[in-house]
Amino acid sequence: MIVAERKPYEEIRAMLAPYKKVLVFGCGGCVTVCATGGQKEAEILAEELKLTDAKDGVSREYVVKTVERQCEREFLAEAASEIGAVDAVLSLACGAGVNLLAEAYPKPAVLPAMNTTFLGVNDSPGVWVERCKGCGDCILHTTGGICPVARCSKNILNGPCGGTHDGKCEVSDEIDCVWALIVKRLTETNALDGYRRIVPPKDWRRGGHGGPRKMTREELIK
């Protein structure tokens, strides 16, 4: 899923300052799965904002709504009347949803309540970790399913570097050295012969360095 975290409260307060009627807009997709931007979180944020408004003597109206996903126009349309009735939408969707919202509804101010961070998985209750960088050229079949592009702090394709200590990355003791994991996996599955092959330099265009990307399914285009 796409993982996003709610922005610091003060930043959100500052963003809302010019607006009088705000839609606190939750998303039922990824941000619900990582428990930061779904219906629950949208309602909680709205209540917090009301409390602070009362304390600061600010008069502002809030509407709260959550749709299935904010990355699809049809779902956004379900909130069309609410969106039309406010002067700002505080979206708890990831950056993609916020972009689409702004594109589909140019009138209200569109404010991001979240900082979108990474593509990841739920490692254990309450913990989400980065697992994919969207590099557009997956090599997981050569590394036992463990990604060096996403998990090596130096994006090394012929790793490990000399910074590994006790199986951890030079950058932090909390980060596993992914190459130590890959080597272990390849050793356990008797696939270490591939290790000696020199992986050539990557074409980073497929990873977004050639400009914003697009994907199409021709047969679905109307």
User: From the CB of 74, what's the least distance to other proteins, in Å?
Assistant: 28
Site for other proteins in 26-45 (CB under 8 A): 40, 43-44
Closest CA to 109 of 90, 94, 95: 90
Q: Residue with structure tokens 């304390």?
A: 55
Which tokens is 68 given? 């299935």
134 makes contact with other proteins (CB under 8 A): no
Closest CA to 152 of 185, 183, 118, 176: 176
The answer to whether the beta carbons of residues 123 and 6 sit under 8 Å apart is: no
Which tokens is 163 given? 């910074």
Nearer to other proteins, 65 or 202 (CB): 202
211 makes contact with other proteins (CB under 8 A): no
User: From the CB of 217, what's the least distance to other proteins, in Å?
Assistant: 31
Burial of 57 (0-12, 13-18, 19+ CB in 10 A): exposed
Which tokens is 215 given? 């994907």
203: amino acid identity, one letter: D
Binding mask 156-185 for other proteins (x = CB under 8 A): xxxxxxxxxxxx--xxx----x-xx--xx-
Q: Which stretch binds other proteins (CB under 8 A): 24-32, 46-54, 94-102, 110-118?
A: 46-54
Strand partners, 25: 65, 91
155 makes contact with other proteins (CB under 8 A): yes
Binding positions for other proteins, rule: CB under 8 A: 9, 40, 43-44, 47-52, 54-56, 153-167, 170-172, 177, 179-180, 183-184, 187, 192, 195-196, 198-202, 204
